[in-house]
């Protein structure tokens, strides 16, 4: 009475004078149905405001067109464009994204189990990694939804990842820094994860070791948070005499780089890039503003997302892929 319950296929069938199976067919692209009865059905459906219940459909088709997106790092403003591009690309494929917030109350495992119960078609880890939880992965039911990692190299065998090529990008950055005359580089790292073994840090450090025998000091922020970056820089500057300091700091991403610039300038009065040059990674829009004017390596976000979606739609083989991005040179180096 007060809540007019939704019209069902049976209601439409009655109104259109056909069986409910014919109604389903009218809403199934490519189904075998006479043109005149499809029109009749759609007309009645519109009149009754009928739209197929996707829950019921999913129950039999075993596909929900839902993808879970796991995010654990809301302090990093680059997550916003990632979410934007990802949701738009999914929606273009008639899919939708369930955004799951990973934090101390809700870990990766709970999130995957939860997503699994909701029968999502896939789980995408966005710029996050399992760390030591990787081991627990084996406790997951064998029938869990397929996992993918976006914008971070996968540390877990058999889990495909789409990321920006660390080797190529670091080569471009190092070439630029070397050409600019920098000789005392430092590296600021984010969360410690197993992936560092393959990641940006190692490629960066290997270059300087080979090229000049330099051991690059690591400033460990511990997380991709500008406050953590500030803290790590503070610690380094306080315990390092001016003469021995690095002349350029490569930051694992833009969020760190921005924290570093802020702290270097306003807390230590350093000029960027004269006293300390800074390089970021991601290509966050914020870093492009005149205040920061940060040299950064832009990740090919659109292509990465397109590649990932091709995988999960089965249009392309699911395996880890590294794509090249683009070095954007600005005033911070």
The CA distance from 205 to 187, in Å, is: 8
Q: Residue 47 interacts with DNA (CB under 7 A)?
A: no
Q: Residue 206 interacts with a second copy (CB under 8 A)?
A: no
Interface residue with a second copy, options 103, 175, 211, 240 (CB under 8 A)? 103
Q: Residue 87 interacts with a second copy (CB under 8 A)?
A: yes
User: How do 326-328 and 295-298 pair as beta strands?
Assistant: antiparallel
Interface residue with DNA, options 8, 87, 293, 316 (CB under 7 A)? 8
Q: Which stretch binds DNA (CB under 7 A): 54-62, 123-131, 180-188, 256-264?
A: 54-62
Interface residue with a second copy, options 14, 24, 38, 52 (CB under 8 A)? 52
Q: How many helices (H) and strands (E) does the chain have?
A: 12, 12
Q: Which stretch binds DNA (CB under 7 A): 1-9, 139-147, 311-319, 320-328?
A: 1-9
Q: Residue 80 interacts with DNA (CB under 7 A)?
A: no
Nearest approach, Cβ of 35 to DNA (angstroms)? Answer: 6
The CA distance from 52 to 29, in Å, is: 13
In 3D space, the residue among 114, 171, 179, 112 whose CA is nearest the CA of residue 146 turns out to be: 112
Nearest approach, Cβ of 214 to a second copy (angstroms)? Answer: 31
315 contacts 109 by C-beta, under 8 angstroms: no
Interface residue with DNA, options 15, 44, 50, 112 (CB under 7 A)? 50
277's CB contacts (< 8 A; 6+ apart) are 177, 180, 182, 247, 248, 249, 295, 332, 333
Q: Residue 269 interacts with a second copy (CB under 8 A)?
A: no
Interface residue with DNA, options 47, 49, 61, 291 (CB under 7 A)? 61
The CA distance from 321 to 193, in Å, is: 19
Tokens 């000049």, residue located: 212
Question: What DSSP element (H or E) covers 172?
Answer: helix 166-179
Residue 92's CB is within 10 A of a number of other CB atoms, namely: 10
Query: 39: number of CA atoms within 13 Å, CB side?
Result: 3
Interface residue with DNA, options 5, 94, 138, 238 (CB under 7 A)? 5
First to last CA, the chain: 69
Interface residue with a second copy, options 266, 271, 313, 319 (CB under 8 A)? 266
In 3D space, the residue among 239, 173, 248 whose CA is nearest the CA of residue 203 turns out to be: 173
Token pair recorded at residue 95: 């899919």
Residues forming the site for a second copy (CB under 8 A): 3-6, 49, 51-56, 58-59, 64, 66, 69, 74-75, 77, 79-81, 83-84, 87-88, 91-92, 96-101, 103, 105-106, 113-114, 116-119, 141-143, 226, 258, 261-262, 265-267, 285-286, 289-292
Residues that bind DNA (CB under 7 A): 5-6, 8-10, 18-22, 24-25, 27-28, 32-37, 50, 52-53, 56-57, 59-61
């Amino acid at each position: 009475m007060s809540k007019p319950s939704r019209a069902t296929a049976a209601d439409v069938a009655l109104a259109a004078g056909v069986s409910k199976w014919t109604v389903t067919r009218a809403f199934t692209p490519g189904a075998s149905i006479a043109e005149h009865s499809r029109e009749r059905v759609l007309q009645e459906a519109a009149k009754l405001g009928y739209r197929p219940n996707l829950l019921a459909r999913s129950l039999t088709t075993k596909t929900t067109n839902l993808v879970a997106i796991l995010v654990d790092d809301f302090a990093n403003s680059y997550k916003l464009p990632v979410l934007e591009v990802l949701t738009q690309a999914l929606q273009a494929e008639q899919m939708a994204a369930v955004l799951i917030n990973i934090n101390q109350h809700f870990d990766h495992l709970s999130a995957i189990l939860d997503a699994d119960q909701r029968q999502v078609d896939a789980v995408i880890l966005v710029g996050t990694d399992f760390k030591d939880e990787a081991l627990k992965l084996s406790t997951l039911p064998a029938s869990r939804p397929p996992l993918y990692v976006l914008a971070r190299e996968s540390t877990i065998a058999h889990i495909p990842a789409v990321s920006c090529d660390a080797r190529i990008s670091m080569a471009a950055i190092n070439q630029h820094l070397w050409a600019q005359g920098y000789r005392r580089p430092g590296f600021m790292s984010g969360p410690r994860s197993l992936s560092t073994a393959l990641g940006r840090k190692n490629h960066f450090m290997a270059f300087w070791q080979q090229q000049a025998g330099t051991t690059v000091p690591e400033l460990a922020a511990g997380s991709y948070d500008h406050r953590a970056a500030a803290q790590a820089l503070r610690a380094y500057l306080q315990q390092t005499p001016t003469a021995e300091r690095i002349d350029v700091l490569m930051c694992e991403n833009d969020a760190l780089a921005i924290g570093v610039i802020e702290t270097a300038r306003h807390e230590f009065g350093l000029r960027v890039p004269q006293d300390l040059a800074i390089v970021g990674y991601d290509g966050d829009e914020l870093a492009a503003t005149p205040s920061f004017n940060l040299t950064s390596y832009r990740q090919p976000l659109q292509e990465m997302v397109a590649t990932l979606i091709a995988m999960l739609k089965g249009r392309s083989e699911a395996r880890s892929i590294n794509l090249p991005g683009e070095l954007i040179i600005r005033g911070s180096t």
